[in-house]
Amino acid sequence: MTVPLLDLAVKAPGRPVFVTGGPPRTPFAGQGRARWDNPAFSLHHAKSWGSAFVLGPMAPLAPAALPGEPAGERFLGRQAATAAELGRSGLPFVAQIWGPLTLASTRVGLTGFLEGLAFPDSAALGDMATEGLTAGTDAAIAAARAVLGTAPAILWVAEPLAVLLGQEMLERVWVAPMRRLVAEARAAGVHPVIHMSGAATHVLPLIDRIGASGVSLTADTPLAAAREALASHTVVFGNLDSMRLLDRDAEWLAAAAREMVAVMRGRPFVATPGSALPDHLEVDRLAAFVDAARDAGE
């Protein structure tokens, strides 16, 4: 039986925190480079921050969209090998893949894909969108299968393109492919989490219908909207604007963390910056956010 997602994240004392990037709290002096495709660095980063999960690598978007070609196979193989090493650590880790819409737009071009969805009666445009969606879904399934066998805690599906489509269009072209991904994850005993960048309030009603265990949001989607739209068991990850770690001081960041925890109190919530962080940000600022989120959850 799969352990509930929030149970995997909980660490006493305090609120679960997932640190999705940025500098390690202590200098990395292990073997290899301080990069996310180096498992030793990923483990060091998670341990030094007390992160609830270890962040696994993400294959670059262009080769990820081409799983049957040499570049795509090479990157998927490298990603799977890194995930396997993280799995041997015994710590819960996140295997990241791109979603079907994002991969579809990479295959056929963003403009052509969106126009094909908007004008399906145009034979050329409609065929382009259909071909892109099929290829994007197949690429996402291939990426999922490459990492699910390494026993991650979470299959993190990054789908930034979803927010560009209306809810009706998403129901028509996105829900079914995402359900396929969710089924793949569930069959492997892995929790599926969907990450969306941008204003995603209109997408939230579809998350529970798709069957995801959780959703990751950026600052453009208010936590209050997620609390209202999602089932009480759906775990929310979010949603500090990562850029605020560069231009705000520690006091502001601590206050932001406390406010996030207050909004989500009583609901399953993991405090995290809404997206990956730059390596050069100041450690003290990230520490202020992380520590305040934990303290507010006690």
CATH number of the CATH domain containing 248: 3.20.20.210
pLDDT in tens, 191-237: 999 999 999 999 999 999 999 999 999 999 999 999 999 999 999 99
> Total domain count for the chain?
1
The region of weakest confidence among 1-15, 47-61, 108-122, 249-263 is: 1-15
Whether the predicted pLDDT of 1 surpasses 70: no
Query: What's the pLDDT at 2?
Result: 65
Report the distance separating Cα 175 and Cα 57, nearest Å: 25
Tell me which residue of 121, 131, 73, 70 sits closest to 100, measured CA to CA. 131
Query: What's the pLDDT at 171?
Result: 93
Token representation of residue 5: 């997602």
> Which residues are CB-contacts of 275 (< 8 A; sequence separation ≥ 6)?
20, 21, 197, 218, 242
Query: What's the pLDDT at 10?
Result: 67
The count of residues in the chain is 298
Q: Which amino acid is at 153?
A: A
Query: What's the pLDDT at 110?
Result: 87
Note whether residue 218 is domain-resident.
yes
Query: What's the pLDDT at 296?
Result: 85
pLDDT in tens, 167-197: 999 998 999 999 999 999 999 999 999 999 9
| 34 neighbors 183 (Cβ within 8 angstroms) | no
The region of weakest confidence among 99-113, 121-135, 272-286 is: 121-135
Note whether residue 59 is domain-resident.
yes
Query: What's the pLDDT at 180?
Result: 96
Note whether residue 11 is domain-resident.
no
Query: What's the pLDDT at 298?
Result: 58
Query: What's the pLDDT at 123?
Result: 52
- The beta-strand segments (E) located in the chain are 54-55, 93-98, 154-158, 191-196, 214-217, 235-240, 269-273
**Residue 149's Cα: distance from chain center in Å?**
19
Note whether residue 9 is domain-resident.
no
Query: What's the pLDDT at 71?
Result: 85
Counts of helices then strands in the chain (DSSP H, E): 14, 7
Angle formed at CA 34 by CA 30 and CA 38, multiple of 5 degrees: 80
- Output the CA torsion 131→149→61→29 (10° steps): 180
Domain that includes residue 273, residue range:
16-297
Note whether residue 239 is domain-resident.
yes
| 219 neighbors 240 (Cβ within 8 angstroms) | yes
> What is the full DSSP assignment across 247-281?
HS-HHHHHHHHHHHHHHHTTS-EEEEESS---TTS
Note whether residue 138 is domain-resident.
yes
- Output the CA torsion 126→129→130→136 (10° steps): 180
The region of weakest confidence among 32-36, 84-88, 155-159, 184-188 is: 32-36
Percent of the chain's residues with pLDDT above 70:
95
Q: What sign does the CA torsion over 44, 47, 49, 54 have? A: positive
Query: What's the pLDDT at 205?
Result: 96
Note whether residue 44 is domain-resident.
yes
Report the distance separating Cα 247 and Cα 241, nearest Å: 11
Q: Say what the pTM is.
A: 0.94
For residues 69 and 259, the model is more confident at: 259
Note whether residue 117 is domain-resident.
yes
